[in-house]
Amino acid sequence: MWLLLMELRAPLVTLILTYAVSVLGLVLIPGETTAGEPYAVSFLDAFYIVSYTATTIGYGEIPYAFTETQKLWMLFVMYATVIAWLYSIGSVFSVLSDPKFRRLRAHQRTVSRIHHHKFPFWVLCGFGGAGSQLIRFLDQSGIRCVVVDDNQTRTDTARLSDLSYEVDVITGDVAEPQTLVDAGVTHSRCRGVLALTDQNQVNLTVATNVRILAPRLPVYARSSDDANTRNLRSFDTEVVVDPDRTATHSLVQLIQRPNAYAIYHELVDPDLNRLKLISIPDDGHWIVCASGRLARIIVDAFNHHNVRYCLVSPEPVEAAIRWVAGLGTEASTLRDADVDGASGIIAATEDDGDNLSILLTAQAEHPKLVTVARRNRPTSEPVFSQGNFSVVLREGRLIAQELFARIQTPLLHEFLGQLESMPEPLVAGIFERLAARRTDQDAELSHFAVHLVEAQAPGVIEALAHGSSIPLRVLLSDPGDGHRQLPAICLLVRRLNGDLIPFPGEGCGLQEGDELLIWGEVGVRGRIDWLLGRQDIFESVLANVMQPSRDGH
């Protein structure tokens, strides 16, 4: 700011000097009244005349018509002051509208706004595929972010993205500690840092810098390299997400546990509000078209989980049990990989065109294949969403889902951990229990957490204090509408002592301090919040719901 003001010195001095000389000249040159008597122009008149001449307004000759000498002087004044005026004003405006100056001002304003934030926020480093997806997911849960990226185009996109709040965006190199400080990592309201740039080294630098700048702040980092991941974990980076491993995990889940896959994606993806079950035939093998690191990881995971497969890749992979050389884009390669006997095909090369070509060829060969497409570039989205594929793997979205599950509510992450070891039939059982409570099977689904504490559920705490036992089904009753069952189920209860109860039965007794993860139709949340928030309503529902069971005994 001050440096730019220095550029204004010369024009301002020029302006002052020209004005001074012009005014002085007018004062010193004698004038004449209309009667021909000598008259001296006063400083006020002189300054007035010079001012209106310089700004090209030109009111005329006051207070008396000019003498020849005065006219000569005025000629000088006109040219000198008009030029000086335009030059100075021009310089002022060019400094003010200088892109460098404006960027600097905008940056300073953003930084000061961030440092005055009154609400909690996350610092998101890297506004690529994952970052742009995650910020939208978090916005839907009312969690705000500050975006940092070194690319002007991407930060412009971030600034213009359609969010419910005005996002603060900083253009700068996140690998530099000052940028992180500007973005507010040392701010008391900062909840964590998301290092999601596509360079492992940069993410690592962000994580180390945050460790020192704000040791207690959680860091969630992306890493697509095993050595880098180990490095990040060595200084306790809270979460490290590897896009290739996440995609592979997703594939294994899809193939072996389609129910868990469906519930996982409904819960972690705010854009997907329905259970999308994909039926997976279990008789055939899977054709995997991939190369490089992803191919190695998929091969390892499939070997470990006993998934039958045939790898199609240009280079052989050491651990691969069955391997066919080629890209997979040609029918002959696919026939070599026994496409007719396959259950599904995974097109996961690094080229979107190849992936599309593989899947179209495979569909022509064997129309009933389960098709999994890997989408690399966000700009290819239209063909992948229009194409008739069973599953589309989007790297950015997978990372965003993974991180969203951890940020949104810790309960959700706990539940997903339980889900990992849950047998398939049990997961199918949940779907049936939810379906039984629903009247409209097409309504959108959502999940939320409920905390049984005085502030959120006064009625529950009061009743518990009086020694009554409250079964879970009371909470899942509609406060109006004859206390019918709400179309929702409880996925997880976390007790105050840390005990976890996955899929509690409807008779499960609630305790003070319980946290519940509830999953159901979109409107349910409002009903439950109403029931819990109003003590009188809760008491009447409790009495009403408990009545029949008392009669029964």
Partner 1 sequence: MNTQRVWFAFFIVLALTLNFGFFVGEIDNPLHHHPIEFFCALVVSLIATVLKIGDRSHMGAVLLATSLVADFQLIAAAIVWGYASQVTGVVSPSVMASVVSLAGGAMLANLTSVVLLLAETIQLKR
Q: Contact positions toward partner 1, by CB under 8 A?
A: 2-9, 12-13, 16-17, 19-20, 23-24, 27-28, 42-45
Cα separation, 56 vs 51, whole angstroms: 9
Q: In the complex with partner 1, which residue's Cβ is closer, 63 or 423? A: 63
Parallel, antiparallel, or unpaired: how do β-strands 488-494 and 500-502 relate? antiparallel
Distances (CA, A) of 375 to 232, 279, 389: 27, 22, 11
To the nearest whole angstrom, how small is the minimum distance from the Cβ of residue 23 to partner 1?
7
To the nearest whole angstrom, how small is the minimum distance from the Cβ of residue 420 to partner 1?
59
To the nearest whole angstrom, how small is the minimum distance from the Cβ of residue 238 to partner 1?
41
Angle at 44 between CA 40 and CA 48, to 5 degrees: 110
Q: In the complex with partner 1, which residue's Cβ is closer, 25 or 258? A: 25
To the nearest whole angstrom, how small is the minimum distance from the Cβ of residue 170 to partner 1?
23
Q: In the complex with partner 1, which residue's Cβ is closer, 6 or 227? A: 6
To the nearest whole angstrom, how small is the minimum distance from the Cβ of residue 22 to partner 1?
11
The encoded tokens of residue 143 equal 């969690």
To the nearest whole angstrom, how small is the minimum distance from the Cβ of residue 497 to partner 1?
59
**Three-state SS at 190:** strand
Parallel, antiparallel, or unpaired: how do β-strands 515-521 and 445-451 relate? antiparallel
To the nearest whole angstrom, how small is the minimum distance from the Cβ of residue 135 to partner 1?
37
Q: In the complex with partner 1, which residue's Cβ is closer, 13 or 426? A: 13
To the nearest whole angstrom, how small is the minimum distance from the Cβ of residue 38 to partner 1?
17
Q: In the complex with partner 1, which residue's Cβ is closer, 19 or 286? A: 19
To the nearest whole angstrom, how small is the minimum distance from the Cβ of residue 2 to partner 1?
5
Q: In the complex with partner 1, which residue's Cβ is closer, 42 or 273? A: 42
Q: In the complex with partner 1, which residue's Cβ is closer, 24 or 522? A: 24
Cα separation, 135 vs 124, whole angstroms: 8
Contacts of 314 (CB under 8 A, 6+ apart): 291, 325, 326, 327
Give the alpha-carbon dihedral of 253, 256, 260, 263, to 10 degrees.
Answer: 70
Cα separation, 49 vs 70, whole angstroms: 12
Q: In the complex with partner 1, which residue's Cβ is closer, 1 or 57? A: 1
Q: In the complex with partner 1, which residue's Cβ is closer, 11 or 502? A: 11
Q: In the complex with partner 1, which residue's Cβ is closer, 81 or 250? A: 81
Cβ(13)–Cβ(19) below 8 Å: no
In b/e form, how buried is each residue of 468-483, taking b as 16+ CB within 10 angstroms?
Answer: eebbbbbbbbbbeeeb
To the nearest whole angstrom, how small is the minimum distance from the Cβ of residue 42 to partner 1?
6
- Residue with token string 């005349």: 49
Instruction: Give how far the C-alpha of residue 520 lies from the chain's centroid of Cα atoms, to the nearest Å.
Output: 24
Cα separation, 308 vs 162, whole angstroms: 44
Going by C-alpha positions, the residue among 344, 340, 336 that lies closest to residue 312 is: 336
**Three-state SS at 530:** helix
Cα separation, 354 vs 290, whole angstroms: 10
Q: In the complex with partner 1, which residue's Cβ is closer, 3 or 227? A: 3
Q: What share of the chain is helix, strand, coil (3-state, %, to 5)?
A: 50, 15, 30
Cβ(279)–Cβ(258) below 8 Å: yes
Q: In the complex with partner 1, which residue's Cβ is closer, 2 or 119? A: 2
Q: In the complex with partner 1, which residue's Cβ is closer, 3 or 57? A: 3
To the nearest whole angstrom, how small is the minimum distance from the Cβ of residue 167 to partner 1?
32
CB atoms within 10 A of CB 281: 11
Residues in the chain: 553
- Residue with token string 């301090």: 513
In b/e form, how buried is each residue of 127-159, taking b as 16+ CB within 10 angstroms?
Answer: bbbbbbbbbbbbbeeebbbbbbbbeeebbeebb
> Using CA of residue 295, residue 298, residue 303, residue 307, what is the dihedral sign?
negative
**Three-state SS at 536:** helix
Q: In the complex with partner 1, which residue's Cβ is closer, 105 or 249? A: 105
To the nearest whole angstrom, how small is the minimum distance from the Cβ of residue 36 to partner 1?
23
To the nearest whole angstrom, how small is the minimum distance from the Cβ of residue 44 to partner 1?
5
To the nearest whole angstrom, how small is the minimum distance from the Cβ of residue 172 to partner 1?
22
Cβ(193)–Cβ(218) below 8 Å: yes
